[in-house]
A and B are shown apart, each in its own frame.
Chain A
Amino acid sequence: MNGAQAMVKCLELEGVKTVFGYPGVAICPFYDSILDSDIRTVLIRTEQNAAHAASGMARVTGKVGVCAVTSGPGATNLITGIATAFADSIPLVCITGQVNSELIGSDVFQEADITGAAESFVKYSYLVKNAEDIPRIFKEAFYIANTGRKGPVLIDVPIDVQNAPVGKFRYPEGDVMLRTYKPTVKGHAVQIKKVMAELEKAKRPVICAGGGVLLSDAQDMLRAFAHRYQVPVVTTMMGIGAMQTEDELYFGMVGNNGAPCANRAMNDADMVIMVGARVADRAVNQPEIITRDKVLVHMDVDPAEIGKNAGPTIPLVGDAKHIFEDMMQIEIRCDHGLWLQTLYEYSQIMKETRGSGPSYIDPAEFIRKLSDRMERDAIYVADVGQNQIWSCRNCIVRDGKFLTSGGMGTMGYSIPAAMGAKLGCPDRQVVAVCGDGSFQMSMMELATMRQHGVSVKIIVIANGCLGMVREYQKNTYGGRYSVVDLSGSPDLSKLAEAYGIRFIRVSGRGEEDAAIDAFLRDDDSVLMECIIDPMDTVK
Chain B
Amino acid sequence: MQKKTFQLIVDNTSGVLSRISGLFSRRGYNIESITAGVTADPRFTRITIVTSGDDEILDQIEKQVAKLIDVRDIRELVPEESVYRELALIKVKAGAAERPSIIAVANVFRANIIDVGAENLIIELTGSQSKIDAFLRLLDGYEILELARTGVAGLCRGVDKVVYIAE
A and B part of one assembly = yes
Do A304 and B60 touch (CB < 8 A)? yes
A120 to B25, CA, bound (A): 10
Chain B CB within 8 A of A119 CB? yes
| With contact pairs A303-B63, A308-B60 given, residues A180 and B18 touching in the complex (Cβ less than 8 Å) | no
Known A-B contacts A303-B63, A304-B60, A308-B60; the reply to A180 vs B19 at CB < 8 A is: no
Q: Produce 1/0 per residue, A283-323, CB < 8 A to B.
A: 00000000000000000001110011001000000000000
Known: A180-B69, A304-B64. 13 other contacts (CB 8 A): A115-B15, A119-B18, A119-B19, A127-B14, A179-B72, A179-B166, A180-B11, A180-B71, A302-B67, A304-B63, A304-B67, A308-B60, A311-B56
A154 to chain B, nearest CB (A): 12
Subset of 17 A-B contacts with CB under 8 Å:
A116-B18, A119-B19, A119-B22, A120-B22, A123-B69, A124-B69, A144-B69, A178-B69, A179-B167, A180-B11, A180-B71, A302-B67, A303-B63, A304-B63, A307-B59, A308-B60, A311-B56
Give the CA-CA distance A115 to B22 in the complex, in Å.
Answer: 12
Interface size bucket, A side?
10 to 19
The complex places the Cα of A100 from the Cα of B67 at a distance, in Å, of 31
A180 to B26, CA, bound (A): 22
Instruction: Give the Cβ gap from B41 to chain A, nearest Cβ, in Å.
Output: 12
Query: Nearest chain B CB to A526's CB is how many angstroms away?
Result: 43
Complex alpha-carbon distance, A362 and B19, angstroms: 49
Alpha-carbon separation in the docked complex, A302 to B59 (Å): 14
- Residue A181 is within 8 A (CB to CB) of chain B in the complex: yes
B1 at the interface (CB under 8 A from A): no
Residues of B1-60 at the interface with A, using a CB-CB cut-off of 8 Å, are 11, 14-15, 18-19, 22, 26, 56, 59-60
Q: Which residues of A contact B60 (CB under 8 A)?
A: 304, 307-308
Q: Which of A105-130 contact B (CB under 8 A)?
A: 115-116, 119-120, 123-124, 127
Interface residues of A in 296-352 (CB under 8 A from B): 302-304, 307-308, 311
Return chain A residues, CB-CB under 8 Å to B71. Answer: 180
Q: Does B70 belong to the interface (CB within 8 Å)?
A: yes
A179–B22 CB distance below 8 A: no
Knowing A304-B64, A304-B67 touch, does A179 contact B165 (C-beta < 8 A)?
yes
Pick the 10 closest A-B CB pairs, nearest first. Answer: A304-B63, A180-B72, A124-B69, A120-B26, A181-B69, A304-B64, A303-B63, A119-B22, A304-B67, A180-B69
| A/B pair count, beta carbons within 8 Å | 37
Task: Give chain B residues whose Cβ lies under 8 Å from the Cβ of A144.
Answer: 69
> What chain A residues lie within 8 Å of B26 (beta carbons)?
120
User: In the complex, which residues of chain A have a beta carbon less than 8 angstroms from the beta carbon of B19?
Assistant: 119
CB distance from A149 to the nearest CB of B (A): 8
Which partner residue on chain B sits nearest A183 by CB separation?
B67
A interface residues with partner B (beta carbon < 8 Å): 115-116, 119-120, 123-124, 127, 144, 178-181, 302-304, 307-308, 311
For B, the interface residue count at a CB cutoff of 8 angstroms equals 21
CA–CA, A503 and B143, complex, Å: 81
Interface contact A180-B22, CB-CB below 8 Å: no
State how many angstroms separate the Cβ of A505 from the closest Cβ of chain B: 46
CB distance from A306 to the nearest CB of B (A): 8
Note all chain B residues with C-beta closer than 8 A to A308.
Answer: 60
The smallest beta-carbon distance between B28 and chain A, in angstroms, is: 12
Q: Point out the residues of chain B lying under 8 angstroms from A311, CB to CB.
A: 56
* Residue of B with least CB distance to A305: B63
Within 8 A of A (CB), among B51-106: 56, 59-60, 63-64, 66-67, 69-72
Nearest-CB residue, chain B, relative to A308: B60
In the bound complex, residues from chain B placing their C-beta under 8 Å from that of A180 are: 11, 69-72
Instruction: Give the chain A neighbours of B18 by CB distance below 8 A.
Output: 116, 119
**Across-interface contacts of B165 in A (CB, < 8 A):** 179
In the bound complex, CA of A115 to CA of B109 (Å): 47
Residues of B within 8 A of A178 (CB): 69
A301 CB to nearest chain B CB (Å): 11
Give the complex CA separation of A255 and B41 in angstroms.
50
The distance in angstroms between the C-alpha atoms of A116 and B18, with both chains bound, is 9
CB B98 to nearest CB in A, in angstroms, measures 47
A472 nearest CB across to chain B (Å): 26
Q: Which of A304, A307, A311 has the largest count of B CB atoms less than 10 A from its CB?
A: A304
Closest residue of chain A to B27 (Cβ to Cβ) is A120
A424–B71 Cα distance when bound, in Å, is 35
Determine the chain B residues whose CB is within 8 A of the CB of A120 once the complex forms: 22, 26
Closest to B67 in A: A304
Complex-state Cα separation, A222 to B167, whole angstroms? 38
The distance in angstroms between the C-alpha atoms of A166 and B71, with both chains bound, is 29
Q: With both chains docked as a complex, state the minimum distance between the C-beta of B67 and any C-beta of chain A, in angstroms.
A: 6
Closest to B167 in A: A179
**Least CB separation from A178: chain B residue:** B69
Query: In chain B, what residue has the closest Cβ to A302?
Result: B67
* Residue ID in chain B nearest A125 by CB atoms: B15
Closest B residue, CB atoms, query A149 = B67
Q: Tell me which of B26, B60, B63, B70 has the highest count of chain A C-beta atoms within 10 A of its own C-beta.
A: B63
Residues of A within 8 A of B67 (CB): 302, 304
